[in-house]
Amino acid sequence: MMPDMNQVGGAPQAWQPQEKVPTVMLDHVSKWYGNIVGLNDVSIAISGGVTGLLGANGAGKSTFFKLLAGKLKPSQGTIRLFGTDPWKNSSPYSRIGYVSENEELYDWMTAIDFVATLARLHGYTREEALVKAKNVLEFVDLADVAHKELGKFSKGMRQRVKIAHALVNDPELIILDEPLQGCDPLARTTIMNVIRELGAMGRTIIVSSHILQEIERITEQIVILNNGRLLALGNVHAIREMLDAHPHKISLTTNQPRELAKKFIEHDDVFGVTLPTDSNLIVQTHNLGAVHQDLPQIILDSGCMVTAIDNPDDNLESILGYLTGGQ
Amino acid sequence: MSAKDRPLVDTVYSKLDRKATAIFEFTMRQYRTRLSTWATLGVGALILMIVMLFYIEGMTETIEAVDNDGDSFDSDNDGYVDGQELLLGTAINNPDDHPGLLNPPVPPDPPEKWINEDDFDVKSIGNSASYGNDDDGDCQVRVGQVGFDDYTDDNNNGIDCDIKIRESFNRYIIDKDPNVDEDPDEDAYYKETVHRGFILGFGKIGFVFVLGIFLPLFLATGLIRDEMSGGTLHYIVAKPISRAEVLTYRLLGYIGLTWPYFAVLTIISAIITGLMGPGEGFFRFADLFLWFGIFIATILLSTAYAAIFMTMGVIHKYGMIGAIVFGVWEFSMAITSVFSPETTVTQLSLARWGMIIVDGFATITWPDSQLLVALGQSVTVTNWDFGFSYESSLEGADILEGFAHKTPLTGDPIIDILISCTLLFTITVLTIVIGQSIFKGKEID
């Protein structure tokens, strides 16, 4: 068989996946580094749609992704991508795009060069790779800087180049490890739009973050990891409802906390009020939504001056705290 | 689309070579953008060219002609040097007896004619029992003379005024009758031996060893390791390409950079030594064969080292340390191999096999090197230094003796070259296979 020295062949033949298997399947997967547990007995199957992987730093998100990317070998359990073990066989990667959390790029390459060179590893010819690279750079809105060196790119641009390189093979599964990290708000919005758009195109997307609000803006389907364990899995609303079973807190800063406390205690859904300082009031409730709805009226009725309203629950740590039983 | 409809070029092989060329080109371009690449290549070329200057200096200086047999001296001051008087049968110590009084009278020779007048006549050695020729006749005139005749066949081979050469333990023993081939051309001998010694030493140490090990040390150790440490390896690994292929194609990128570099340096060196070297033609074409051998030895050894260093880099992030330790071992073995190739322990090194390739090509190019050494050592030169005299063999003989060796394996240069090339190639392939399997099992953080 003659090698294709002139690089004029047609489109590469795609590797054929097994039919009717989940895109991503982890079965009792554990991964530990010496004595440190990275991932602990995780079983999950993901097919289609955008899935948010939520967890604090060190919760095992990157371990999870590195296992999917074939960079790490599971200590226990089995991983299948399109029914194939990614550690032993690299063929599923023809249908996968992987964006690592690592921010290193080949700074000496231009964006189009970088994307096209890596596209050729999918088996495309030089010309095919260039066309594909041009398309994906356009998709992530970097067409005008395609011939600029990566070393001169901003953080948001670098993230987008990484995403572009992962999209070049038209992947069915896209894995994005902290794609919003270190980006300014504008870049965040652009990247979120790109991810949503890809989701709308019917791809399976797994995106990780340690910030709930970010994930909420991208998807409703989330997976929560904590200390290497799979903590919750499902719709973001379902998780919210689970959270509602736990008391929520609202913190108010006011000049008359005692007056305001009297008003709040009358509300049906409020079961407790504390006054940690002279100007501070904490309201405890099982129904955050209802209290939030009535909050303006209560404040108006009391005639107190409220300078700040804060929802201390609305961060990942406290949510994880509730889910793990208030530890 | 069925396999039948698929275009012929669009097969698993074509995909394979697309990936191969992608990584090959990428590796070459990556080398090109690194300052360390240019520094390594530049320093290597600079050092070689500086050493080359010593050669040029050696080739341009002239060794003063020495009258080893003293026959350019006119003992009786009659205007005729002793050599001419001896040849024509007049007395060397009687001013009233000289060839000018013969009938017809012979004009006196200029004294220079009797310096370097009896050069080596043996060019190659066969089955003959007798070699050499008494060009100036100072042995021949003694034949039949009373008192002298007993000393015209010192080597007892029944032939007057010749040289007997025999081989003993891979060395030539030169057994001369007196005054035969006793006044060679010092300058020609020095240039020939230094030329050969230089190419051998320069080729073995400079090319095969120094370039052969330093280039892979600096350019191959990081082929995979740098990508691992830099966190960029996942761009290549999380692709439909096996890690074994990645490793192989990265090494191909190294080959693509270094082989042409070695070729260019070899050609430059071959041109300089070919033009500057002694000889009747304007260029020593025969030497090109040896330069080809030096090139072969360099690329084989350097690629073997590259595979080893790259694998060390895959194994551990401090693989460079292992590579340096290995390099020190190879260095000591290389030096040992250059000067005493028979040393057994050198068989455990790679460098030795590279040296054997050079020795093999040198033996084919210059089959008479050992003979040249023996002839040079058969002449005794009296040197004067600070008023003291000391005797030595012909200048240049020791240099050539130091660097020119027969191949130590079977003794047949062609077979020894083949054995060494096969061995180095096999080690390279084995190391690549080991490196591939280690890389496959390596977790990348």
Q: How do residues A162-190 score in pLDDT, each as one tens digit?
A: 999 999 999 999 999 988 887 888 888 88
Q: Is the pLDDT of residue A125 over 60?
A: yes
Question: Which DSSP string corresponds to A164-209?
Answer: HHHHTT--SEEEESSTTTT--HHHHHHHHHHHHHHHHTT-EEEEEE
The answer as to whether A112 is a domain residue is: yes
* pLDDT, mean of residues B18-24: 92
Q: Is the pLDDT of residue A79 over 90?
A: yes
The CATH number for A293's domain is: 3.30.70.100
Q: Give the end of a domain, one of A219, A241, A263.
A: A241
DSSP conformational letter for A35: T
CA B135 vs CA B19, B87, B92, B177: distances in Å: 70, 11, 19, 13
**A321: burial class by Cβ within 10 Å (0-12, 13-18, 19+)?**
middle
Considering its fold, how many domains does chain A have in total? Answer: 2
- Looking at residue B1, what is its pLDDT? 45
Q: Is the pLDDT of residue A9 over 60?
A: no
B171-176 and A248-254 beta bridge pairing: unpaired
The answer as to whether A262 is a domain residue is: yes
- Looking at residue B419, what is its pLDDT? 97
Are residues A250 and A210 part of one domain? Answer: no
Are residues A91 and A44 part of one domain? Answer: yes
CA-wise closest residue to A115 among A86, A158, A52: A158
* Distance, CA of B341 to chain centre: 13
Q: Is the pLDDT of residue A313 over 90?
A: no
Radius of gyration of chain B (CA): 30
The answer as to whether A160 is a domain residue is: yes
Is the backbone of residue A189 left (phi > 0), alpha (psi -120 to 50) or beta? Answer: alpha
The answer as to whether A16 is a domain residue is: no
- Looking at residue B406, what is its pLDDT? 87
Are residues A101 and A233 part of one domain? Answer: yes
Which residue type does A253 have? T
Contact B230 A73 (CB under 8 A): no
Are residues A278 and A140 part of one domain? Answer: no
The answer as to whether A179 is a domain residue is: yes
Read off the pLDDT of residues B411-426 as tens digits, 9 standing for 90 and up: 899 999 999 999 999 9
* pLDDT, mean of residues B433-440: 95
Chain A contact probe: residue of B10, B11, B18 with most A CBs at under 10 A: B18
Read off the pLDDT of residues A192-210 as tens digits, 9 standing for 90 and up: 988 988 888 888 999 998 7
The CATH number for A31's domain is: 3.40.50.300
Question: In which element (H, E) is residue B307 found?
Answer: helix B287-315
Given the structure tokens 């400079």, which residue do they identify?
B206
Instruction: Find the range with the poorest average confidence among B71-80, B123-132, B200-209.
Output: B123-132
- Looking at residue B145, what is its pLDDT? 74
Are residues A304 and A252 part of one domain? Answer: yes
Given the structure tokens 């730093």, which residue do they identify?
A57
The answer as to whether A134 is a domain residue is: yes
Per-residue confidence at B409, pLDDT binned at 50, 70, 90?
A: confident
Q: Is the pLDDT of residue A3 over 60?
A: no
* pLDDT, mean of residues B332-348: 88
A17 reaches B (C-beta below 8 A): no
Q: What is the dihedral of CA B109, B115, B116, B118, to 10 degrees?
A: 60
Provide the mean pLDDT of chain B.
88
What residues of A are in contact with residue B22 (Cβ under 8 Å)?
117, 120-121
Are residues A260 and A126 part of one domain? Answer: no
Contact A121 B25 (CB under 8 A): no
> CA-CA distance, A117 to B349, in Å (whole number)?
39
Are residues A266 and A156 part of one domain? Answer: no
* pLDDT, mean of residues A82-108: 90
The answer as to whether A49 is a domain residue is: yes
Are residues A222 and A87 part of one domain? Answer: yes
Question: What are residue A110's DSSP bridge partners?
Answer: A149
Query: Does residue B405 sit in helix, strand or coil?
Result: coil
Read off the pLDDT of residues B141-163 as tens digits, 9 standing for 90 and up: 777 776 776 777 888 787 888 88
A96-99 and A173-176 beta bridge pairing: parallel
Are residues A283 and A169 part of one domain? Answer: no
Q: Give the end of a domain, one of A194, A215, A241.
A: A241
Percent with pLDDT over 90 in chain A: 34
Q: Searching chain A, which residue's CA lies closest to the CA of residue B229?
A: A104
> CA-CA distance, B126 to A46, in Å (whole number)?
84
The answer as to whether A115 is a domain residue is: yes
Contact A90 B243 (CB under 8 A): yes
Per the structure, the complete domain to which residue A311 belongs is given by: 246-323
What residues of B are in contact with residue A105 (Cβ under 8 Å)?
232
CB B265 within 8 A of CB A137: no
CA-wise closest residue to A132 among A116, A144, A146, A147: A116
At A87, list the tokens: 């550690």
Are residues A70 and A41 part of one domain? Answer: yes
Per-residue confidence at A14, pLDDT binned at 50, 70, 90?
A: low
A210 reaches B (C-beta below 8 A): no
Interface A-B: count of C-beta contacts within 8 A: 113
- Looking at residue A1, what is its pLDDT? 44
Q: Give the end of a domain, one of A241, A272, A304.
A: A241
Are residues A46 and A173 part of one domain? Answer: yes
Read off the pLDDT of residues B364-407 as tens digits, 9 standing for 90 and up: 999 989 899 989 988 887 777 777 878 888 888 999 999 998 88
Are residues A222 and A256 part of one domain? Answer: no
ipTM above 0.90, yes or no: no
Q: Is the pLDDT of residue A5 over 60?
A: no
Q: Is the pLDDT of residue B248 over 80?
A: yes
What residues of B are in contact with residue A104 (Cβ under 8 Å)?
230-232
Contact A15 B240 (CB under 8 A): yes
> CA-CA distance, B21 to B249, in Å (whole number)?
8
Q: Is the pLDDT of residue A135 over 50?
A: yes
